Amino acid sequence: MTEKERILQLRELLHRYNRAYYVDSTSLISDFEFDALMHELEALEAAHPEMADPNSPTQRVGSDLNTNEFQTVVHAVPMLSLGNTYSPEEVTAFCGRVEEGLGRKDVDICCELKFDGLSISLVYEHGNLVRAVTRGDGTQGDDVTNNVRVIKSVPLAIPADAGCPEHFEIRGEVLMPWSSFHALNEEREIAGEPPFANPRNAASGTLKSKSSAVVERRKLDAYFYQLICDEIDVATHHEQLLLAKKWGFKVSEHIEVVHSAEEVQEYITRWDTARRDLPVATDGVVLKVDNLAFRQALGMTSKSPRWAIAYKYKADRARTLLRAVTYQVGRTGVVTPVANMDPVLLAGTIVKRASLHNEDMIEKLDLHIGDFVFVEKAGEIIPQIVGVDLEHRAAAPEEIGEKVRFATVCPVCHTPLTRYEGEAGTYCPAEYGCAPQMKGKIEHFVSRDAMGINSIGPKTIDVLYDSGRIRDIADLFDLRISDLCGADGSRERSAMNMLRGIEESKQKPFHKVVFALGIRFVGKVAAKTLAEHFKSMDALCKAGEEELQAIPGIGPVIGKSVVNYFRDEHNRKLVERLTAAGLQMQQEEKGAESGAPQVLAGLRIVISGTFEKHSREEYKALIERCGGKNQSSISSQTSFILAGEGMGPSKRVKAEKLGIEILSEADFLERYGL
């Protein structure tokens, strides 16, 4: 076999293994074997640049270069919207119209879950992905091919023996799974950025990112639901989807073909509850006539097909009185308006407050104090005001107070607020003179994922800051027992715990120190990347924007923020004080080089519950040092679960279903000699 033939063989093999892992949730080879094949392909492609192919498995890596200038592309077949309804009666009426239009009763309906993401259309030629375009206005959309290439569940190339036509188009939905959504929002909150309201907004913002590396890191997924091709000789939509699945596309397992309006209603009712256990967000059900010839006979209206309809589940909504709007200041200075309302029951919880996000939302809603407002749980998680009861405002104008206008000065330090160009947020610029910002920086510094000083919580920080005993993070290392145990010495034991935690934090690795500084936009992943690249705080302080932007996973936004942070004299002195206090300002060599036994090499481990001997974060670090990989959720690829007290019952059930071993803390340490 020639080297060029080997390149083609390796590409086909790796595409097959990727599909098995990301679409079928099965593993055909070990990680070690997969990596070895990938390295072999990379070497061969480097030796044969004439064989370059954007759909090669080696190219499925995002770039931080801002090369994505989205071009507008006209859809060959318009992406029409479906008629929507929230009424079960209208669903029954739809089934009746279909039967009447066809003059027959035996009409099968294909029921599909309506995924709450971003519609996408992919074009394939000779088995290779050539274009990915967003829905746009239905007639034309944005070319997002570079970003879609890094979504692991999207096939880049279809095996030659799969039997797919030379040219076809397939449509689906790009989604952000709940696990990725929660992890992303946690990162954004830590970095001082506003969280996304729901997975759909997060997926939409991610797919339109200028950096495909951002898309890759956020772990989007994609499900497909429509095949467009004249060359396929099948009679039904369901058969088309089975073909798409055979070719390697991710198709929902929960599609059902039913035979009556009663069975349609049963499907809708069943999934209104069951959908809440799915790994991705859904907001309804799509109903389609299954027979393709019947669809042709039914035809289209000017806006939508007569053979399909979308039933949307009603969001939990409540009506309540807006009493006041207050403002919160975060550690990065962002000022967030908060609606304070009469308590109301919403989706099983009492809601009294809802974020109004920013100035633009207040203007859009045209809020007045005394308005009755409608509240929903966005993405069934976050309470959000979605509208005003204008009928009540018109009927009782005497009950309506003044129009809500965004604050012009900081509610705490009274510094005039500012809004930076291109950002939705409004900020208090008094970074070192605004108490909530300083307290927030200290809270971040001592948090579990940073320096892990668990004995110091928000209330303690409030007391220490308000009494003047600390003013910044470096002051923590100047604290004495007399500062902490109270005038009568009654809190000596807790004071000793705090001092012990402060002292132990000096041994936290360098990447945690970088994260703990609270540099804007630098989350846990970016901090680790910076630490591993520069190896020392001194080198990081001296780095220029160009060098920072060239690091995979950093890019211009983070790069500029890092430079601005160390350009500030206050921050430079802070780092000097932390260095003098004895914090780790250099990266330790890890893995085999530091002598750690690689007893967990190739293993994927999920940690659940709480432990006696070490914290969860310490176990995660131990697993990485010993060659293992931490997984946030259970899959068929999980090697075992390290289970402590309070392991979630849903995880236990899933582990038993997949036959995954559950190890106690003691069993884990004994088995691997740790």
CA distance 172 to 222: 7
CA distance 507 to 447: 15
Whether the predicted pLDDT of 674 surpasses 70: yes
Mean pLDDT of 195-211: 83
Domain shared by 267 and 129, yes or no: yes
350, 344 contact by CB (below 8 A): yes
Please list, in sequence order, all residues whose beta carbon lies within 8 angstroms of the beta carbon of residue 618, skipping any fewer than 6 positions away.
none
Structure confidence at residue 64 (pLDDT): 41
| Residue with tokens 């593993």, as numbered in its chain | 27
Task: Tell me the per-residue pLDDT of 38-71, one tens digit each, with 9 for 90 and over.
Answer: 878 888 888 888 888 888 888 765 544 444 567 8
Question: What residues make up the domain containing 639?
Answer: 597-671
With bands split at pLDDT 50, 70 and 90, how would you rate the model's confidence at 632? confident
Q: pLDDT > 70: what percent of the chain?
A: 93
Give one DSSP letter per residue of 276-332, joined into a string.
GGSSS-EEEEEEEESBHHHHHHH-B-SSSBTTEEEEEPPPPEEEEEEEEEEEEE-TT
Whether residue 405 lies inside any domain: the answer is no
pLDDT reported for residue 539:
95
Domain count, the chain: 6
How far is it, in rounded angstroms, from Cα 210 to Cα 422? 15
Domain assignment present for residue 592? The answer is no
Amino acid identity for residue 225 in this structure? Y
Tens digits of per-residue pLDDT, 408-433?
A: 999 999 999 999 877 788 999 998 88
Query: Cβ distance 423 to 429 under 8 Å?
Result: no
484 and 518 part of one domain:
no
Residue 338 lies in a domain: yes
Query: How large is the average pLDDT for residues 321-333?
Result: 92
Q: Residue 529's domain is classified under what CATH number? A: 1.10.150.20
> So what's the pLDDT on residue 44?
86
Residue 228 in domain = yes
pLDDT digits (tens, 9 = 90+) for 579-608: 999 999 998 765 444 456 788 888 889 898
The predicted-structure confidence for 93-102, as pLDDT tens digits, reads as follows 999 999 999 9
* 134-155 residue pLDDT tens: 988 788 888 999 899 999 999 9
Boundary of a domain, candidates 452, 476, 507: 507
> Same domain, yes or no, for 502 and 543?
no
Residue 467 lies in a domain: yes
CATH number at residue 326: 2.40.50.140
Per-residue pLDDT band for 26 (boundaries 50, 70, 90) equals low
Q: Give 295's pLDDT tier (boundaries 50, 70, 90).
A: very high
Averaged pLDDT for residues 226-250: 93
Radius of gyration of the chain (CA): 28
- State if pTM tops 0.75: no
Residue from 462, 449, 452 nearest 506 by CA: 452
Q: Is residue 173 located within the same domain as residue 305?
A: yes
Q: Which of the listed residues 486, 507, 528 is the one where a domain comes to its end?
A: 507
Among residues 280, 254, 269, which one has the least CA distance to residue 379?
A: 280
Residue 171 belongs to some domain of the structure: yes
Token pair belonging to 274: 């069951």
User: In terms of pLDDT, which residue wins out, 196 or 605?
Assistant: 605
How confident is the model at residue 317, as a pLDDT?
82
Flag the least confident range among 20-24, 190-194, 523-527: 20-24
Domain match, 112 and 217 both: yes
Instruction: Specify whether 559 is located in the same domain as 443.
Output: no
Cross-strand pairs, 122: 132, 170
Q: Which tens digits make up the pLDDT trace of 435-480?
A: 999 999 999 999 988 999 989 989 999 999 999 999 999 999 999 9
Distance CA(8)–CA(480), nearest Å, equals 67
Examine the pLDDT at 516 and tell me if it is beyond 80.
yes
For residue 128, give the CATH number of its domain: 3.30.470.30
Q: Does residue 572 have a pLDDT over 90?
A: yes
88 and 218 together in one domain: yes
Q: Is the pLDDT of residue 32 over 70?
A: no
Say how far apart CA 446 and CA 516 lie, in whole Å: 8
What is the CATH number for 38?
1.10.287.610
Shared-domain flag, residues 321 and 306: no
**Residues with a known catalytic role:** 114
Same structural domain, 545 and 448: no
Token code pair at residue 344: 């109301």
Three-state SS across 43-97?
Answer: HHHHHCHHHCCCCCHHHCCCCCCCCCCCCEEECCCCCCCCCEECCHHHHHHHHHH
Residue-wise pLDDT for 357-402, tens only, equals 889 999 999 999 999 999 987 655 678 898 999 999 999 999 899 9
Residue 329 has a pLDDT of 92
Do 379 and 445 lie in a common domain? no
Burial 648-657 (b: 16+ CB within 10 A, else e): eeebeebbee
Residue 12 and residue 106 in one domain: no
Asked if the model's pLDDT at residue 566 lies above 90, the reply is yes
In a domain, 412, yes or no: no
371/72: higher pLDDT: 371
**pLDDT value for 27:** 61
Beta-carbon contacts of residue 545 (< 8 Å; ≥ 6 apart): 556, 559, 560, 563
Q: Is residue 415 part of a domain?
A: no
Give the pLDDT of residue 287.
96
Mean pLDDT, the chain, rounded, equals 87
- Reference 404, options 451, 341, 449; nearest CA is 341
Could you tell me if 252 and 367 lie in one domain? Answer: no
Domain boundary among 272, 293, 312: 312
pLDDT at 209 exceeding the cut of 60: yes
Residue bearing the bigger pLDDT, 155 or 609: 155
Position 16 pLDDT exceeds 70? yes
Q: Is 512 exposed, middle or buried (0-12, 13-18, 19+ CB in 10 A)?
A: buried
